[in-house]
Amino acid sequence: MKKRNLLIIILSLFLGNSVVAQQQGQNPIIHADVPDASIIRVDDTYYMSSTTMHMSPGVPIMKSKDLVNWEIMNYAYNTLGDSDALNMENGENAYGRGSWASSLRYHNDTFYVSTFSSTTGKTYIFKTKDIENGSFEEISFTPSLHDNTLFFDDDGKTYLIWGGGKLNIAELKNDLSGVKEDTERVLIENATEPIGSNFILPAEGSQIFKVNGKYYLFNIAWPRDGMRTVITHRADKITGPYEGKIAFQDKGVAQGGLIDTPEGDWFAYLFRDYGAVGRIPYLVPVKWENGWPVLGEDGKVPETLDLPANEGWIPGIVASDEFSRKSGDKDLPLVWQWNHNPQNDYWSVKDREGYLRLTTDRVDSSFLNTRNTLTQRTIGPESSAITKVDLSGMKEGDYAGLGLLQKNFGFVGAKMRNNKKHIIMVNGASEETVEVERIPLNQEELYLKAVGDFQNRKDTAEFYYSLDGENWKAIGNELKMSYTLPHFMGYRFALFNYATEEAGGHVDFDYFKIEAEKNN
């Protein structure tokens, strides 16, 4: 037991449980890729939308009762569209695109999620009465309005604010099907001004709130030779004029907005770029002074929060899966997402009971071009995944296994050459993909493991195999993971199968087991 935890217990004996309660909540609230959050509260329940870019389904909706412990409840869409980029066809892909920076709202007993996509060139608004179990109705229109924030005002008008540096505002039509004619105008000519003229990133990521009759617009900007910074603008009318100031600068924790609790406490939800694991969400307490939100504790991100304990991110954010389904179960739990749109005729959890079957539908050239790759987030500071795979259905030239998916990928698995199978470790962190090690395989079942170390941004991974599920051997070399802008996403554990010579081969995954270690 760490001395700090022992001290808390001793103090609690003298001071009651308040000491323990005040020390339980911890930043980051999720040590995984949950960026661009938008959070609302409906009575005593919080809902959060986030970004998953090119993944399908997209725009995850998460639920919490305490702002700390979250569970994925739904997605705004199953697929964003039917195009070569989203389907990964004809040499195109949607890596680093898809949709992002959503805005979640609740109005007149209906939930709304707005987002946008440069991949499709559209702005989207999804709506539902049942955010936890229902499907969303899609409304879309052109053009694609970058980093938009949706707002329902008290006078019955609905607005979108969007842009970078120069922010624009427009009123939406009553049915939200587009911008109302002659309402678009510049809202703030230079929203980046509070950080000066020398910057890497102009003010973007807009989220707007109305508190005590005033409008508060949150943005992120990045001064050159500085850190990601929160900028807040305030106005008496949504159309302005706005006055702005720097609201927060610490550890690069920025971009987000405001949320209050039923007890009247306020927090800002923000995120931090944290290397290969992705962009991870934080909470900072907020106090109000002279009509402005003041973020942090003495301007800093607290390590602990006066909120309930974090109970871990399994199974709410990631989860193990035996691939056994009962009547009424979803084919795939919500923790899973496909890399790009899935080809639904080529995967199944029903063809062989208790297994996930992935069947190749075409010939591909590499792991990154493969469709029907099934993924879950990696978790910091350390996490591992184990799977067992039956390779008896492989065809000549097939590759299958367990990977860590990003541009600089790595995987452990099996390949079939000259009707013989080999265990392989492949490192894709350099310009040329390297098969680091190859070992003859004389059986059809293989156990695979990938371990990621994200502690203090170490960002390394190691791969293992076993022939019996008990005795593990390291294979290949260390993968140096890195967060790259072409993919714009934290690393994902990935189950895959692809063909290089002939389509139609299949592999069966018996289970997927994930473990995560978090700071105490």
Residue 2 DSSP code: -
Q: How far apart are CA 71 and CA 334, in angstroms?
A: 9
Band the pLDDT of 25: cuts 50, 70, 90. confident
Find where tokens 């993971």 sit.
481
Residue 17, pLDDT above cutoff 80: no
pLDDT, one tens digit per residue, over 228-274 is: 999 999 999 999 999 999 999 999 999 999 999 999 999 999 999 99
pLDDT, one tens digit per residue, over 104-156 is: 999 999 999 999 999 999 999 999 999 999 999 999 999 999 999 999 999 99
Residue type, 437: E
Average pLDDT over residues 161-178: 98
Residues in Cβ contact with 17 at an 8 Å cutoff, skipping those fewer than 6 apart: none
3-state DSSP call for residue 93? coil
**What pLDDT does 518 receive?**
60
pLDDT, one tens digit per residue, over 38-80 is: 999 999 999 999 999 999 999 999 999 999 999 999 999 999 9
Q: What are phi and psi of 275, to 5 degrees?
A: 70, -145
Residue 15, pLDDT above cutoff 90: no
**What pLDDT does 22 receive?**
40
**What pLDDT does 517 receive?**
81
Q: How far apart are CA 362 and CA 356, in angstroms?
A: 19
Q: Which residues pair with 280 in a beta bridge?
A: 272
Band the pLDDT of 218: cuts 50, 70, 90. very high
Q: Is the peptide bond before 315 cis (omega within 30 degrees of 0)?
A: yes
3-state DSSP call for residue 101? strand
Contact predicate 295/282, CB 8 Å:
no
**What pLDDT does 16 receive?**
42
Residues in Cβ contact with 69 at an 8 Å cutoff, skipping those fewer than 6 apart: 308, 310, 311, 316
Q: How far apart are CA 461 and CA 454, in angstroms?
A: 9
Contact predicate 70/61, CB 8 Å:
no
pLDDT, one tens digit per residue, over 313-333 is: 999 999 999 999 999 999 999
Q: Angle 281-149-191 (CA atoms, 0-180°, nearest 5)?
A: 90
Residue 350, pLDDT above cutoff 60: yes
Q: Is the peptide bond before 381 cis (omega within 30 degrees of 0)?
A: yes
Contact predicate 277/516, CB 8 Å:
no
Residues of the chain with pLDDT > 70: what percent?
A: 95
Helix (H) or strand (E) holding 517: strand 506-517
pLDDT, one tens digit per residue, over 271-292 is: 999 999 999 999 999 999 999 9
Residue type, 141: F
